[in-house]
Amino acid sequence: MKTVFISGGGTGGHYYPALAVAQALKEKGYKVVYVGTDKGIEGKKGFEYADEIHLFPMKAVRGKNFLGKIQGAISLIKTTLKVVKLLKKEEPSFSLCFGGYTSFPLGVASFLTKTPLYIHEQNSIPSYTNRILSFFAEKIFITFEYSSKFFNPKKTYLVGMPLRRSIIERAKNYVYKPTDKKTVLVLGGSQGSKKLSQLTVQLAKDMPDINFILIKGKWEFDNTDLQNLTIYDYYEHMEDLYEVADIVISRSGSGTVNEILAFGKYAIFVPYPYAASNHQYYNIKWLQDLGLCQIIEEKNLTLESVKTALLESFSKDLQNLFNRIKTLSNIDAIDKILTLC
């Protein structure tokens, strides 16, 4: 049985695309060995499609004080040496890294053991880990064209974002059909957005003819029972909600952006202002340039700015926009990655 080593965790943005590709590799008969950190999302959820899971006490370097950087660097070096031993033992066909500091040890260990290395970058502006690993990688897979300027063009491939199987299967067959009563889906990112959630309650009060669905995350706030507002802390099968939405208001993390593209939805994006290198803004700037979304920066996020954006959105031909946006989705990203590997 051929073996593949996969790394990508710490946060959901690296974890979920790695998980999606791992599922496809398992179905093709590969043994999957996952390398991550016990402090990340993988420490809580495991890694469903791995035959072996190796979690190490890694620490980040970026954003830490001097002592923290030293401690982080030592933890990454120690982990790299341990992963070298694993690679020598397993002799995998290749390694596949999805960025974030947890990918650094596998990437460097692959270089040291001459294991073919492939990397995937989810965001428009690459992580520092992927910028370093790109020098060792045989091929670099990117989600957004904007990322290409950071990498060697001779080995960079635009493939899109690996999405969950449930999203792909539903999105492929989905056709938008406008209805008289409009529905707005509001997403605040993996942790939710308190400000966006509070604004959604007010929007529902001010716009009773529109249905609102809010994924609020961890935030608690006062609200009255409104007939046109449905609130969830979290929703497992997001494909259900994308299908019923006419407009989406959302943060612009890479996974969410690509799910929205897959369903051809016109969106009002509110980029998370503290994302590294402001990458959430650049994840969707190209889409705005095409006239296929709106952007409201956090500093301009008010009840009036959102109401104005919504009214403008509903004045558009959403059926035509659906047809245009859906063509921009790289929904076959997983197949492209496996073919190139």
Asked if residue 248 has pLDDT above 90, the reply is: yes
Over residues 173-199, mean pLDDT? 86
Structure-token pair, residue 147 = 């990322």
The CA distance from 160 to 317, in Å, is: 26
In this predicted structure, what is the pLDDT of residue 54? 96
Asked if residue 9 has pLDDT above 90, the reply is: no
Over residues 105-129, mean pLDDT? 96
Question: Reduced to 3 states, what is the DSSP secondary structure of residue 131?
Answer: helix
Mean pLDDT across the chain = 93
In this predicted structure, what is the pLDDT of residue 222? 66
Q: Which helix (H) or strand (E) holds 159?
A: none
pTM: 0.93
Asked if residue 257 has pLDDT above 90, the reply is: yes
Q: What is the pLDDT of residues 34-74, one digit of tens each?
A: 999 988 889 889 999 999 999 998 887 777 777 777 887 88
In this predicted structure, what is the pLDDT of residue 201? 92
Instruction: Name 293's bridge partners.
Output: 267
List phi, psi (to 5°) of 322. Answer: -55, -50
Structure-token pair, residue 25 = 């590799």
For the chain, which domains are there?
3-158 (3.40.50.2000), 167-326 (3.40.50.2000)
Q: Which helix (H) or strand (E) holds 213?
A: strand 211-215
List phi, psi (to 5°) of 226. Answer: -115, 135
CA 110, 72, 151, 268 torsion-angle sign: positive
Sheet with strand 293-295: strands edge to edge: 229-232, 211-215, 183-187, 247-250, 266-269, 293-295
Among the ranges given (139-153, 222-236, 270-284), the one the predictor scored with the smallest mean pLDDT: 222-236
